[in-house]
């Protein structure tokens, strides 16, 4: 029920997902009449048999803050979907809804993996060579060096699932590569990272390094990660916009412009958020994927693919093992 | 002498600047033989008469930290150029060198404008409609609500110089638009901003809003600003890279691809850092412009244009007046 488009992006994504994966089954949580209306046009499709509508009249709005979510939204579609994961009735949960509410309800309903201090949001982003997993994306504002170390371990496991690579380089996001740069806490984190035999620590990197592929995992607090990801999204949107504006202005290049725009769109899909949609809520006991709030049906489908990857690899259990090993 | 290319980007930019602006004169600070060598090919150009080489054998390297710069680099090309501004022998100074050293030497040599608590780095960035001035870009790590308010006032004056607009909307960068989001300090800043009759405060914005043009000035601490700007730069570079890779792969679209790439390059210039090069060091007594370290000659020329704009508008004095009014 969340995100800018709500079920209008979710329902077509579900149909496509079921068509693509004949073994998959889905549960759709939300107001029954609204969902049934949207499902009507797919009535004759055989895949519909693998989709169960679970009626929930209560929804979490974008205005709802985490405290309100915990107090008053226990019967919401978001809470009910998380309960299905907690009960083992679902292998993963995907939502485009209110992030703050999801983090609060997720922790409360699923509980955290043993040893995890603070769950984090992380996501694989496109890079010149391969991809780069960035976390935290906004779940934690003030982070200690120890928090950042846990984020690194969780990020490594998640990126292993996404890329299949075993050996991953880890860096800390900072405002410069030199060791004297940044806050005291990030410099303390650098010392801590260096001391871990199981972590291939690269050093400090800056914002642009997220997109070069120089490292596989970039760790930072939720403020920096959120700003990095959203600024990158903003500038991609801007490029599409500017291209469109110039195209309309230029009469001389109209013909080649059309072709160029087609190619540009294709290129954009390589880096645009839709292709890399789906942030993982790492450190809770279950696979929870947060789709971008502005997700189209195509983008929501991508988030479902991410969820499938995490569920198949049993990421939540892998995190639990990885953190247990590092503790003792 | 700073930046990846050093005088190889600076010297051609200077020649172009002098050709474009017949009233301008330039002083070039650096090792004499090196600069003379590079200037030789422009020997016959009449503009060379308006360019004075000021010999400085000492240079600030990228490894030099701010404390070392203050102690040992008082005779460097960077310090000498700042001294020329302090002595009124130059209206503005441009460098692509070590940012930390520049901030330390700039404060020490020029002094801060009366009433300024902490100088800041800020820059006009491209937006869907117009541009957006973002600060601080990395000069200050921990910022109080009062620091952020001063950044806002400085950013407004700078953006007035860049756009000519009088009425400017100001926002605080945060991880969400809702009032409960972010650190205690940013929420305190929001209350402070609301209480200022001279500031048209918009509210919190997220990273992507920097590039939409919804506001004219975005204020944040140096960590967030640095990460926002550098992530945006990284993703622009990535898009160029991906475009190039796909182009080489596709044989079918090679012909149209070439044309399309030309157009894409043109579009990129609309948003790429080179076009928006030149961050202002606001709050010191003089116009100091920091060029991107990776600046090409074209980009360095842009930073010089920014310096010219700031000098002509006497931005440093305007800041002083704006802050004096707000204090009394």
Looking at the structure of chain A, the number of domains it has is 1
Q: Is residue B201 part of a domain?
A: yes
Instruction: Show the CA angle centred on residue A185, arms to residues A181 and A191, nearest 5°.
Output: 80
Q: Is residue B2 part of a domain?
A: no
pLDDT at position B272: 60
Query: In terms of DSSP bridges, do strands A51-55 and A26-30 run parallel, antiparallel, or are they unpaired?
Result: parallel
Interface of B with A in 11-50 (CB under 8 A): none
Using CB atoms within 10 Å of the CB of residue A151, give its burial: 0 to 12 exposed, 13 to 18 middle, 19+ buried. buried
Q: Over the stretch A204-262, which tens digit does the pLDDT of each residue have? A: 999 999 999 999 999 999 999 999 999 998 888 887 776 656 555 555 555 656 666 66
**CATH code, domain carrying B93:** 3.40.718.10
Q: Is B207 on the interface with A (CB under 8 A)?
A: yes
d(CA B102, CA B81): 11
Q: Over the stretch B175-226, which tens digit does the pLDDT of each residue have? A: 999 888 999 999 999 999 999 999 999 999 999 999 999 999 999 999 999 9
* Nearest partner of A231 among B265, B37, B8, B205, judged by Cα: B205
List CB contacts (< 8 A) between B228 and chain A. Answer: 207, 227-228, 231
Q: How distant is the Cα of B224 from the closest Cα of chain A, in angstroms?
A: 6
Partner residue facing A238 (CB), from B99, B182, B271 = B271
List CB contacts (< 8 A) between A189 and chain B. Answer: none
Count H helices, E strands: chain B?
11, 10
Cβ contact A175–B222 (<8 Å) = yes
Residue B310 has pLDDT above 50, yes or no: yes
> Comparing A95-104, B6-15, B138-147, B250-259, which segment has the lowest mean pLDDT?
B250-259
Q: Is residue A19 part of a domain?
A: yes
d(CA B221, CA B224): 6
| Phi, psi for residue A258 in degrees, rounded to 5 | -60, -45
Q: Is residue B309 part of a domain?
A: yes
Cβ contact B234–A180 (<8 Å) = no
Q: Is A234 on the interface with B (CB under 8 A)?
A: yes
Q: Are A300 and A4 in contact (CB under 8 A)?
A: no
Q: Are A306 and A289 in contact (CB under 8 A)?
A: yes
- Cα distances from B198 to residues B150, B164, B313, in angstroms, run 12, 18, 21
Residue B241 has pLDDT above 50, yes or no: yes
Q: Is B305 on the interface with A (CB under 8 A)?
A: no
Taken in order B140, B146, B151, B152, the sign of the CA dihedral is positive
pLDDT values of chain A reduced to their tens digit, one per residue, 328 residues: 888 888 999 999 999 999 999 999 999 999 999 999 999 988 889 999 999 999 999 999 988 999 999 999 999 999 999 999 999 999 999 999 999 999 999 999 999 998 899 999 999 998 988 899 999 999 999 999 999 999 999 999 999 999 999 999 999 999 999 888 999 999 999 999 999 999 999 999 999 999 999 999 999 999 999 999 999 988 888 877 766 565 555 555 556 566 666 666 665 665 565 567 899 999 999 999 999 888 889 999 999 999 999 999 999 889 988 887 665 4
List CB contacts (< 8 A) between A227 and chain B. Answer: 173, 175, 206-207, 220, 224, 227-228, 231
Partner residue facing B224 (CB), from A223, A239, A267 = A223
Q: List the alpha helices (DSSP H) in B205-296.
A: 222-249, 254-271
The reply to whether B258 and B204 lie within a common domain is: no
Residue B262 has pLDDT above 70, yes or no: no
Q: Is residue B327 part of a domain?
A: no
The reply to whether B153 and B220 lie within a common domain is: yes
A2 in helix, strand or coil? coil
d(CA B159, CA B166): 9
Cβ–Cβ pairs < 8 A, chains A and B: 193
- Cα distances from B83 to residues B7, B78, B90, B108, B252, in angstroms, run 20, 9, 9, 10, 59
Enclosing domain of residue B250: 232-268
d(CA A203, CA A174): 9
Q: Is A141 on the interface with B (CB under 8 A)?
A: yes
Cis amide leading into B136 (omega within 30): yes
State which residue of chain B sits closest to A244, comparing Cα positions. Answer: B267
pLDDT at position B249: 57
Cβ density class B5-34: b for 16+ within 10 Å, e for less: bbbebbbbbbbbbbeeeeebebebbbbeeb
At B326, the pLDDT band (50, 70, 90 cuts) reads: low
* Cβ-based neighbour number of residue B150 at 10 Å: 24
Q: Is A177 on the interface with B (CB under 8 A)?
A: no
Q: Is residue A307 part of a domain?
A: yes
Q: Is residue B241 part of a domain?
A: yes
The reply to whether B167 and B74 lie within a common domain is: no
Cβ contact A176–B231 (<8 Å) = no
Q: Over the stretch B38-85, which tens digit does the pLDDT of each residue have? A: 999 888 899 999 999 999 999 999 889 999 999 999 999 999 999 999
Residue B307 token pair: 């310096």
Q: Over the stretch B120-134, which tens digit does the pLDDT of each residue have? A: 999 999 898 889 999
* Cβ-based neighbour number of residue A195 at 10 Å: 10
Q: Is A257 on the interface with B (CB under 8 A)?
A: yes
* Nearest partner of B155 among B318, B328, B325, B304, judged by Cα: B318
Cβ contact A206–B230 (<8 Å) = yes
Average pLDDT, chain B: 90
Partner residue facing B227 (CB), from A141, A173, A242 = A173
More confident of the two residues A195 and B264: A195
> Mutate which of A64, A129, A173, A267 to test chain B, going by most B C-beta atoms within 10 A?
A267
At B328, the pLDDT band (50, 70, 90 cuts) reads: very low
pLDDT at position A262: 64
pLDDT at position A328: 44
Which residues, 6 or more positions from A27, have their beta carbon under 8 angstroms from its beta carbon?
Answer: A51, A52, A54, A81, A84, A89, A90
Which residues, 6 or more positions from A109, have their beta carbon under 8 angstroms from its beta carbon?
Answer: A79, A82, A83, A86
| Phi, psi for residue A145 in degrees, rounded to 5 | -55, -40
- DSSP label of A120: E
Cβ contact A235–B230 (<8 Å) = no
Length reported for chain B: 328
Cβ contact A246–B233 (<8 Å) = no
pLDDT at position B4: 86
State which residue of chain B sits closest to A271, comparing Cα positions. Answer: B239
Given the structure tokens 């100088």, which residue do they identify?
A: B119
The reply to whether B170 and B159 lie within a common domain is: yes
At B277, the pLDDT band (50, 70, 90 cuts) reads: confident
Q: Is residue A67 part of a domain?
A: yes
Cβ contact A229–B232 (<8 Å) = no
- pLDDT above 90 covers a percentage of chain B that reads 71
């Amino acid at each position: 029920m969340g995100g800018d488009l709500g079920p209008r992006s979710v329902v077509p994504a579900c149909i496509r997902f079921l068509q693509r994966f004949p073994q998959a089954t889905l549960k759709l949580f939300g107001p029954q009449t609204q969902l049934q209306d949207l499902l009507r046009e797919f009535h004759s499709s055989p895949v519909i048999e693998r989709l169960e509508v679970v009626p929930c009249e209560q929804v979490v709005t974008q205005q709802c803050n985490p405290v309100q979510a915990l107090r008053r939204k226990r019967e919401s579609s978001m809470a009910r979907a998380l309960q299905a994961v907690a009960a083992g009735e679902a292998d993963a949960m995907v939502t485009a809804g209110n992030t703050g509410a999801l983090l609060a309800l997720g922790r409360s309903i699923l509980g955290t993996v043993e040893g995890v201090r603070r769950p984090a949001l992380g996501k694989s982003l496109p890079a010149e060579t391969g991809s780069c997993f960035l976390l935290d994306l906004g779940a934690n504002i003030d982070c200690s060096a120890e928090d950042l170390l846990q984020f690194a371990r969780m990020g490594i496991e998640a990126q292993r699932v996404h890329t299949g690579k075993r050996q991953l380089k880890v860096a800390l996001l900072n405002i410069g590569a030199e060791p004297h740069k940044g806050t005291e806490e990030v410099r303390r984190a650098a010392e801590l990272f260096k001391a871990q035999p199981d972590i291939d620590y690269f050093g400090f990197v800056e914002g642009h390094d997220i997109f070069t592929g120089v490292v596989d995992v970039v760790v930072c607090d939720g403020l920096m990660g959120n700003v990095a990801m959203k600024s990158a999204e903003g500038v991609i949107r801007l490029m599409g916009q500017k291209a469109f504006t110039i195209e309309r202005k230029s009469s001389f290049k109209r013909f080649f412009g059309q072709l160029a725009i087609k190619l540009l769109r294709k290129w954009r899909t390589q880096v645009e958020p839709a292709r890399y949609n789906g942030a993982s809520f790492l450190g809770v006991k279950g696979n929870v994927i947060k789709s971008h709030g502005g997700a189209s049906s195509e983008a929501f489908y991508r988030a479902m693919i991410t969820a499938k990857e995490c569920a198949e690899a049993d990421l939540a259990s892998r995190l639990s093992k990885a953190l247990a090993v590092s503790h003792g």
